[in-house]
Structure 1
């Protein structure tokens, strides 16, 4: 998102109707990633976006008339924006198309798309949705490919996830950012990716999800090994390394990412807890290891992050 402010509201009401869609096209590029868009119905067009940033998570409520939006190969080549996005449909209907799949969105459902590959969004009439955007580096790469353009319905576990994000966006929009809840947002985003991926490719995707879940559970213990993870998942070391290769990160990198993610949540939720205690709680061998890993992943020290850096 680059220079996108932490809190902003935009609307086509700011311009005359003759320039409304051109203005809208610029708005969605500023709020999300570089996109091509066109209206699909004749007549006047109206749209608005309410945007809030909470740590790594961007929340944007989009209300607009019918349109088609494309993320093309040429735009990807020019912009290099690496994000995973999810749309939760609040009103109306829509479609997300990516990786040869099509997810139909109705009120309450959710679907993911990846800015590093082409995608299309289609809305045949007026709609409202919540768009969640996180850096692609914040979630396991293996989960993303399996989850794109697969609808997660707003029932059962899916309903718990969508209710959380809709509530979080509502609180942030009225000036109550709920700092105790924001650190859990990325974890729930990953969980929902797992729901979508498991519904698409139950075989290989299930193995990858089991490995990633095992790593997440084991990250709190220092010294966890590849043998430990393989045994937990009832797979061979060879299968484990194949899964890790597909994810694009080593076991060490995945453990470091998970431990830093946990540390970020603890640092914000318990501001008086000593950093050394945070390190022990989150699976680091000591405070020095936490400092080194935290700076490698976030570019900040734990103290700087805790202070709101």
Structure 2
């Protein structure tokens, strides 16, 4: 995984699919979330327009990501995990729409105002399939930093 805020990278980065052709929007979005988050495998039911915006703000060793997007699915596979150098936890705060998070045989359903936690070292599926417009604020916390604080 790329460092979220390496010295050569700006502290604040925004990707907006409105700046790309409709048939290229999902590919652009896929690259943006992989840069803002980690190696992921998003899938969309549509091959046409995909209006989305990804914003990341680096905070020390972590980051806050805010993402607005239409319905789709995001997977973190064994291959995605193996290709990552670092591990982290994501605290996902749902701002609009609904999402189902599946990890370790458990399912958590998030609605507006609810928080879910994802461990990047384990396979996960995020089903963003409830709402015409979805939005999430995701706090990227390095695993080591969180584990050190918890003792």
Q: TM-score range by the shorter chain?
A: 0.7 to 0.9
Structure 2 counterpart SS, 1:139: helix
The answer for the alignment partner of 2:43 in structure 1 is 38
Distance in 1 of aligned mates of 2:104 and 2:144: 20
The answer for the alignment partner of 2:136 in structure 1 is 129
Larger of the two Rg values belongs to structure: 1
Distance in 1 of aligned mates of 2:123 and 2:85: 12
For the 8 Å contact 2:26–2:47, the answer to whether it is kept is no
Structure 1 counterpart SS, 2:92: strand
1:23-55: CA deviations, max 9, x gaps?
Answer: 111111000000111113565211101211122
For the 8 Å contact 2:54–2:65, the answer to whether it is kept is yes
If each structure's strand is expressed as a fraction of its own residues, which one has the higher value? 2
1:5: how far off? 3.2
Say which of 32, 36, 60 aligns to 1:55: 60
Distance in 2 of aligned mates of 1:81 and 1:56: 11
For the 8 Å contact 1:83–1:134, the answer to whether it is kept is yes
Say which of 64, 74, 79 aligns to 2:84: 79
The answer for the alignment partner of 1:10 in structure 2 is 15
If each structure's helix is expressed as a fraction of its own residues, which one has the higher value? 1
For the 8 Å contact 1:33–1:81, the answer to whether it is kept is no
Say which of 120, 138, 149 aligns to 2:145: 138
Structure 1 counterpart SS, 2:82: helix
Give the TM-score of the pair, scaled to structure 1. 0.44
Distance in 1 of aligned mates of 2:23 and 2:86: 30
Q: Alignment length, in residue pairs?
A: 144
For the 8 Å contact 1:41–1:66, the answer to whether it is kept is no
1:234-293: CA deviations, max 9, x gaps?
Answer: xxxxxxxxxxxxxxxxxxxx4xxxxxxxxxxxxxxxxxxxxxxxxxxxxxxxxxxxxxxx
1:124-183: CA deviations, max 9, x gaps?
Answer: 132011010011101128xxxxxxxxxxxxxxxxxxxxxxxxxxxxxxxxxxxxxxxxxx
Query: Is 1:113 matched up with 2:113?
Result: no
Give the TM-score of the pair, scaled to structure 2. 0.87
Distance in 2 of aligned mates of 1:37 and 1:132: 19
